[in-house]
Amino acid sequence: MSSPADAAIDLDGLRSLGDDVSSGVPDGDPATAWQRRKDSYKLISPLNRRKFSVIVVGTGLAGSGCAAALGELGYDVHSFTYHDAPRRAHSVAAQGGINAARARKVDNDSLHRFVVDTVKGGDFRAREADAFRLAEESVRVIDHLDAIGAPFAREYGGQLATRSFGGVQVSRTYYTRGQTGQQLQVAASQALLRQVARGSVTLHTRHEMLDLVVADGRAQGVIVRDLVTGEIGAQTAHAVVLATGGYGTVYFQSTLARNCNATASWRAHRRGALLASPSFVQFHPTALPVSAPWQSKTTLMSESLRNDGRIWVPRKAGDDRAPGDIPEAERDYYLERKYPAFGNLTPRDVASRAAKEQIDSGHGVGPLHNSVYLDFADAIGRLGKDVIAERYGNLFAMYRDATGEDPYTQPMRIAPAAHFTMGGLWSDFDQMSNIPGLFVGGEVGWDYHGANRLGANSLLSACVDGWFTLPYSIPNFLAPHIGSPVLPLDDPAVVDTANAVRDRVDRLLSVGGRTGPDRFHRRLGEILYAGCGVARSAETLTDAIERIRALREEFWSDVRVQGTGAEFNQELERAGRVADFLELAELMCVDALDRDESCGAHFRLEHQTADGEAVRDDEHFAFASAWETTPDGSRIRHREPLSFAAVPLQTRNYR
């Protein structure tokens, strides 16, 4: 299918158009689609479950939950992580809270309102039926996590406490102070280790997945590298689950841990798995600003702080006075001014664009004038320091440790930074990719959040996938394969894939250049922030594509990887990940160039209203892009058309 947009931008040589893909959502009411789909699933009896082997890559909330649930059911599970322990997975970093449509507050919340907020928050670029599943299972998630030991905050009478997050007007976010991700990850990893102790899960730590084994048209294993010894080996199974997180570190300076990467998902993509909407990247408005050129990452301050903190800048551009010396009349609480209905709790994409607008117009604060203020003076005056410390004490301590400034006595300084990726491996309603037997869970997937994720929906979507979706849908795929053996390790598909991995490692080691991989990564991040950042245009994206191609060519002629592959070698690890980032980054820019509209966090400068709001093109772009990269590097854009029955298409309005 083509559109007028195809003629407006020269995309020749960048992509061709392929067939539509099917979501697999049952016909009928999206509100009941998940229950009807579960009722149609094939079952496997307890005595047959131990005959099936499943690989789960990643031990965050989605991976730990999936592996623990399948192990509890009796399947033979192999769990892989490149960390030294499962609890170190990056789910620990999402500290603000986890949403649930339990409607325990008397604020008129409901399942329907949850779906409306999620679909609208994603700017109508996600599956409506998946949003209903997220809402429905959210009730079970909280009860389950509470049962396995997550220490949720409670009201005086014992009821679980909630607070608000961006993009909503109700209180549905459950939390454990400012440590929610950490505490949920501890509970999930303990559930996983319980199955390890029982013998139903085999845990492989310090192993990184470097490729996917596809045989007979199915995903049947993975190739991994032992990060301690350097040994490259294989593990085969009846099905593979990728729960390996997002790719925000492609920007180099991001809120993610330095080790986060896209290699597992990108290697699966190069084996044929479609990649959905890779340009949909969220820039978190509540990160610490970059303070020095040597800085290797940014630090996230939880969105929960926007419950009580007020965001402002000086009304006068270039005002360098200390914040305490700027009177109220000379402050611009710009989110409260522009979006009075939601104020400081506007969705992340809106808040990030507004902050960038203030910084770019000369109203930025701090030594580098690259941030805005997040001020708690009013809340401390109204509630007292002890209440604020009870709600956010660890976050305030983290800010003080990072900046040397006391947020109890002076405003925090915050700025947008690359954070969450709404794009990811395409999957159908069963969470299965277009490669049969390859399932996805958590941020590595795409289906819930559209073009912008609402705060506190990330922990939820990971838990829903891991505990309450994949343990139902995977057996449905496995049931017809009763009696089928696991693929032998000497099968040609395994041997050929392992050899391809070895050849790639040898190629990285043999370049013999002068520049370390981190230097290339930093330069790639600079290109992406400039060309495919908070705002993009055809001009910036075209320039970014050209610069990425030149950088990739330079990488393969000048990268320096010291040491050998037969040892612990972190420079080799980083080089492999940067090589994948250099390919992924170009596809991100191609996707952003192809989507000639603004929606959510994908903000094209050519498509905005007079007052700077995003303008969607539902006539031509009401679909999820699903990209295929052929062996010769050509790109084919498939579509999954999106329709909305319960939440009619509308212009987002947070005013």
What is the model's pLDDT at position 587?
98
- At 277-303, the pLDDT tens digits run 999 999 999 999 999 988 999 999 999
3-state secondary structure of 373: strand
Q: Which residues are designated catalytic? A: 348
Question: Average of pLDDT values for 613-633?
Answer: 97
Res 193: pLDDT: 98
Q: Report how far residue 457's alpha carbon sits from residue 598's, in angstroms, rounded to the nearest whole number.
A: 22
List of residues 6+ apart from 232 with CB closer than 8 A: 210, 223, 224, 225, 226, 498, 501, 502, 505, 565
CA–CA gap between residue 33 and residue 35 (Å, rounded): 6
Helix axis angle for 470-478 and 61-73, nearest 10°, is 50
- List all residues 6 or more positions away from 445 whose beta carbon is below 8 Å from its beta carbon: 424, 425, 427, 431, 465
The residues near 485 (Cβ < 8 Å, ≥ 6 apart) are none
Both tokens of residue 221?
């294993």
Q: Give 646's DSSP letter.
A: S
Eight-class DSSP state of 468: I
Could you tell me what percent of the chain has a pLDDT over 90? 96
What is the pLDDT at residue 178? 86
pLDDT value at residue 9: 53
Rounded to whole angstroms, how far apart are CA atoms 574 and 583?
A: 15
Q: Indicate yes or no: pTM above 0.85.
A: yes
Per residue in 72-87, pLDDT tens? 999 999 999 999 999 9
For the chain, give the mean pLDDT: 96
> Which has the closest alpha carbon to 133: 274, 244, 25, 242?
25
Question: What is the DSSP code (8-state) at residue 363?
Answer: I
1 has pLDDT over 80: no
pLDDT score recorded for residue 76: 98
Domain 282-417 and domain 501-639 have a common topology: no
Using pLDDT thresholds of 50, 70 and 90, give the confidence band for residue 428: very high
- Fold entry, domain 501-639: Methane Monooxygenase Hydroxylase; Chain G, domain 1 (1.20.58)
d(CA 288, CA 253): 11
Instruction: Please tell me whether residue 242 adopts helix, strand or coil conformation.
Output: strand
Residue 173 near residue 184, CB atoms below 8 Å: no
pLDDT at 23 over 80: yes
| pLDDT digits 0-9 by tens, 188-236 | 999 999 999 999 999 999 999 999 999 999 999 999 999 999 999 999 9
Question: Which listed CATH number (3.40.50.300, 3.30.160.270, 1.10.530.10, 3.50.50.60) goes with 49-281+419-477?
Answer: 3.50.50.60
User: For the purposes of burial, counting CB atoms within 10 Å of the CB of 389, is it exposed (0-12), middle (13-18) or buried (19 or more)?
Assistant: middle
Strand partners, 372: 414
Q: What local confidence, expressed as pLDDT, does residue 3 receive? A: 44
Residue 4 has pLDDT above 50, yes or no: no
Options 3.40.50.720, 3.30.450.20, 3.90.700.10, 3.90.650.10; CATH for 282-417 is 3.90.700.10
Rounded distance, CA 646 to CA 195, Å?
40
Q: Where are the beta strands (DSSP E) in 466-534?
A: none
How far is the C-alpha of 421 from the C-alpha of 415, rounded, in Å?
18
**How far is Cα 520 from Cα 379, in angstroms, rounded to an integer?**
44
- The pLDDT score that the predictor gives to residue 293 is 85
How far apart CA 375 and CA 411 sit, in angstroms, is 4
Q: Where are the domains of the chain?
A: 49-281+419-477, 282-417, 501-639
pLDDT of residue 177: 86
Across the range 419-428, mean pLDDT stands at 98
